[in-house]
């Protein structure tokens, strides 16, 4: 039991240390941060992000975040840069260099080369008096009191601070660009997230059959239509405009209420004013409508006419639910 409590206490201490370090970042922000954001926003080039060791891993993540939110970015490893990769940097690119100490040998070699090429440079560093900081145009201070590592050695708290500062940059740029959910979808077309952002009702309803009957269709033929189309529902139409809906549940209720249903027709069984959605609506809107009303399918319209059915199983299959 003691070992379990000891492990949990260490975990809590780590989380608390990193939480406090992140909270302190807001007090370290200066005009340099705003100027750095403006520099990137107004740049005609890309953002080149470099670092070494754990900072290089953080640089990779910030690159991915910027690319996915509308700011073109490229990762350049600091060690590789001084062995040929400096060619990645183009004339209008802005360089972000990440280093806790700002004084590593690779950084001291790399920074003058960047400065000689006249590229603007932003430092993300925990040492505002370091070689890197003094050579940079803008400093984003990520100072932390101590690492979560009990020896105060392994980069933990410091890399978390770097990551959060990168996120702050990305979000500020995102807002300046007016980056919308539609823009986000362009960069995230795959997976459930992308589907929630770009998939429309017609993309799903078009793969289904389109069960429909007329107002005067017999109850027997209604049953046949629902059974054959296998969606548990049929639209009732009048001149191809939706007049009502009949579900499996409506059929069961009909059978309990009437022993002689052979003389009934669709208009006697249907529910009027069924929930419907336009085929150009987003699939996520269909999901929300189904959830709101506790139903498993919606009738789909196109230009005011019946166009098909979207079923909850379509949403589940595509990972939207």
Give the tens place of pLDDT for each residue, 189-210.
Answer: 555 566 666 788 999 899 999 9
Full residue range of the structural domain in which residue 213 is found: 198-317
Decide if 189 is inside a domain.
no
Supply the pLDDT for residue 193: 61
Same-domain check for residues 73 and 113: yes
Same-domain check for residues 140 and 210: no
Q: Mention every residue, 6+ apart, whose C-beta is less than 8 A from residue 264.
A: 218, 219, 254, 258
Supply the pLDDT for residue 195: 64
Choose one of 147, 179, 211: the last residue of a domain. 179
Choose one of 135, 152, 179: the last residue of a domain. 179
Same-domain check for residues 141 and 263: no
**Whether pTM exceeds 0.85:** no
Give buried/exposed letters for 281-314 (b at 16+ CB in 10 A, else e): bbbbebbebbeeeeeebbbbbeeeebbbbbbbeb
**Predicted confidence (pLDDT) per residue in 95-150, tens digit:** 999 999 999 999 999 999 999 999 999 999 999 999 999 999 999 999 999 999 88
Same-domain check for residues 175 and 203: no
Angle between helices 157-176 and 2-28 (to 10 degrees): 40
Three-state SS for 259? coil
Q: What is the CATH number of the domain that holds 167?
A: 3.40.50.10490
Decide if 43 is inside a domain.
yes
Collect the ranges in the chain with pLDDT lower than 50: 1
Supply the pLDDT for residue 91: 92
Q: How many domains does the chain have?
A: 2
């Amino acid at each position: 039991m003691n070992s379990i409590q000891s492990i949990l206490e260490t975990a809590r201490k780590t989380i608390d240390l990193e939480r406090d370090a992140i909270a302190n970042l807001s007090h370290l922000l200066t005009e340099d941060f705003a100027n750095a954001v403006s520099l990137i926003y107004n740049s005609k080039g890309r953002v080149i992000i470099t670092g070494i060791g754990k900072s290089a891993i953080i640089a990779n993540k910030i690159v991915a975040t910027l690319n996915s939110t509308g700011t073109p970015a490229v990762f350049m490893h600091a060690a590789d840069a001084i062995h040929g990769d400096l060619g990645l940097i183009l004339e209008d690119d802005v360089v972000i260099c990440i280093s806790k100490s700002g004084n590593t040998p690779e950084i001291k070699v790399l920074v003058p080369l960047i400065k000689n090429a006249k590229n603007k440079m932003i430092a993300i560093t925990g040492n505002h008096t370091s070689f890197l900081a003094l050579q940079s145009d803008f400093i984003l201070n990520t100072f932390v009191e101590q690492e979560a590592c009990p020896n105060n050695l392994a980069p933990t708290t410091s890399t978390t601070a770097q990551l959060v500062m990168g996120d702050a940059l990305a979000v500020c740029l995102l807002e300046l660009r007016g980056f919308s959910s539609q823009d986000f979808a362009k960069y995230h077309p795959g997976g459930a997230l992308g589907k929630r952002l770009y998939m429309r009702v017609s993309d799903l309803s078009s793969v289904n059959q389109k069960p429909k009957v007329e107002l005067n269709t017999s109850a027997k033929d209604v049953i046949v239509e629902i059974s054959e189309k296998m969606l548990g529902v049929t639209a009732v139409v009048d001149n191809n405009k939706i007049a009502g809906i009949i579900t499996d549940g409506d059929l069961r209720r009909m059978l309990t209420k009437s022993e002689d249903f052979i003389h009934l027709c669709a208009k006697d069984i249907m529910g009027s004013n069924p929930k419907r959605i336009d085929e150009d609506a987003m699939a996520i809107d269909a999901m929300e409508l189904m959830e709101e009303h506790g139903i498993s399918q919606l009738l789909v319209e196109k230009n005011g006419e019946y166009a098909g059915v979207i079923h909850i199983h379509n949403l589940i299959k595509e990972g939207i639910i």
